[in-house]
Amino acid sequence: MRILIIQTPNVIGTLLNLPGKEIPLSLCYLAAYVRERGHQPYILDLDFYGGIEPYLSRTLQDFQPDLVGISSYTTNVARAAEIAASIKARLPDAPVLLGGFHASALPERTMREFPVFDLLAVGEGEQTITEVADRLEAGQSLSGIAGLMIRDGDDLPMGPPRPLTDDLDALPFPARDLLPVTKYIPDPGNFFRLPSTGILFSRGCPFHCTFCSKSVFKDTIRYRKPERVTAEMRECRDRWGITDFRFEDEGPTLNRKRMGELCETILAEQLDVTWNCFSRVDTIDESDLRLMKRAGCYHVTYGIESGSEQSLEKIDKRLTLDQARRIVAATKKLGIECKANFIIGFPWETQNDIDKTLRFAFAINPDLATFNVYKPLPGSRLYDQLDADGKLRHTRWEDYFATSEFLLFESNFTDDEMRRILKRTILRFHLRPRFVWQRFVRLLRHPRREALTIWYGLKIIAANLFR
């Protein structure tokens, strides 16, 4: 069966957003899985092209799919519906299946809101889309497939929950060969050298931060064997010349023993690789960082979120500001680039809370920092609470983009006030002499990488200015 798998183009962020392009790793996993089971996949990454037409029409004409799967986030689900409508107009007999975080978080609501979708997958999609293809090919009913919601007139019957994939090593390597993989350029700062690609060490996260959606990978963390990860690294090196990687896991350092085993395997196999990853500040120490650096780690992004103890408690972050201070200092001491992510404007926050976050960012002085206004993500506990209390202003999903300037809930601030606060926060952090000097020092230490980062950053800013 011919299966077209589509990545929906993202919405455009604000000027301060630098949207690089990374391969849709989850779609590559889907394609590899269905191909291994005898089907013919084709990936159309419309986000790579930055638009829908003429790429969609050309692909439908040339490939003539029997089944179409579309992946979207909350922000671009309306665009996914636009794509589905175009497909139905051209190929009315090809079922259209929606998957991704938004579909998994709000399945019935999504199917009611966008009647153009025939099917919807909840959770991890490899087995679900394969079972759909198998049954369609055999002329069988789709009723009862785990993790699948189907449209039956006005009814939306849902199959039983889809169990999580326990053995990640049983999954084939992502089908990067179906994409122009070496042409993807990540966000400035998310690569050390080009070409670069995303990779996974684990799925899931056992923590329960109230602002985070866990609708797909849930809260059970599962790891791949280090040898499988390094085998995938070698494949990327041998086939495409890729030796730079970004671990897209929510927390590859959550299990220090497993991260240590991965680093030791990279060193034992003498892989000349560079990589970056996410981490919490409470699941890592200086010895871990030292080993990670030896194994090629050049950058760690920490989700600190707030400099306000009250906000950290309310979002159930379960870390302390002292932990953040120590780990940021240790990371920088070892020469690993350190980035800190912060969220401002939680529903309860006042100007005093936001000032605390900015002062804390000044104090720990990471190499890089992001500041975004809180967005209530469907599938998160905080979204559910705001929705239940009637405090959401609207669900115009395109405004749920991380860097949009809209407040989506009842707040202590107006839109204009928060817009000014956000811009002032970002400028105050990045125009400090101490920050400028840090970047200059890194330019001296890593001139090629810093020059690439600056060059691509300027190109993306220019594209935003003149779009």
The per-residue pLDDT for 14 is: 47
CB 397 within 8 A of CB 74: yes
Q: Final residue of a domain: which of 150, 176, 206?
A: 150
> In terms of domains, do 139 and 198 share one?
no
| Pairwise CA distance, residues 31 & 14, whole Å | 32
- 194 and 144, same domain (yes or no): no
For residue 169, is it within any domain? no
Is residue 226 reached through a cis peptide bond, with omega within 30 degrees of 0 on the bond before it? no
Contact 189, 453 (CB under 8 A): yes
The answer to whether residues 53 and 117 belong to one domain is: yes
Q: At residue 2, what are phi and psi to the nearest 5 degrees? A: -85, 120
229: CB partners within 8 A, 6+ apart:
199, 201, 262, 265
- The parent domain of residue 388 ranges over 185-465
Question: Minimal CA–CA distance to 189: which of 22, 422, 425?
Answer: 22
Residue 208 and residue 255 share a domain:
yes
Q: Do residue 230 and residue 123 come from a single domain? A: no
Contact 275, 245 (CB under 8 A): yes
Q: How far apart are the first and last CA of the chain?
A: 39
Domain boundary among 130, 150, 170: 150
Number of domains forming the structure of the chain: 2
What is the rounded CA–CA span in Å between residue 20 and residue 22? 7
Decide if 86 contacts 92 (C-beta within 8 A).
no
Which mean pLDDT values do the consecutive 10-residue runs of the chain (467 residues) have?
96 57 96 98 96 96 98 95 98 97 96 98 97 98 97 96 95 98 88 94 94 84 97 98 96 94 98 97 97 97 97 96 98 96 96 96 94 93 95 90 81 93 90 86 80 65 50
| CATH number of the domain where residue 112 is located | 3.40.50.280
Together in a domain, 208 and 111: no
**CB atoms closer than 10 angstroms to residue 394:** 10
Q: Which of 369, 248, 247, 349 is nearest to 304 (CA)?
A: 369
Whether residue 209 is contained in a domain is answered as: yes
pLDDT of residue 458: 62
Report the chain's C-alpha Rg in angstroms: 22
Residue 364, domain CATH: 3.80.30.20
The answer to the question of residue 239 being in a domain is yes
From the list 171, 314, 181, the residue with the least C-alpha distance to 242 is 181
Contacts of 413 (CB under 8 A, 6+ apart): 345, 407, 421
Let me know whether 390 and 249 are in one domain.
yes
Question: Of 104, 130, 150, which closes a domain?
Answer: 150
pLDDT digits (tens, 9 = 90+) for 15-37: 445 567 899 999 999 999 999 99
> Six-digit token pair at 329?
């200092």
Q: Are residues 207 and 96 in the same domain?
A: no
- Is the same domain home to 99 and 219? no
Q: Are residues 196 and 117 in the same domain?
A: no
pLDDT in tens, 278-295: 999 999 999 999 999 999
Task: Find out whether 179 and 27 touch, Cβ atoms under 8 Å.
Answer: no
Give bridge partners of residue 344 from the DSSP assignment. 373
Prediction pTM value? 0.93
Kindly state whether residue 158 falls inside one of the protein's structural domains.
Answer: no
Per-residue model confidence as pLDDT tens digits over 111-122: 999 999 999 999
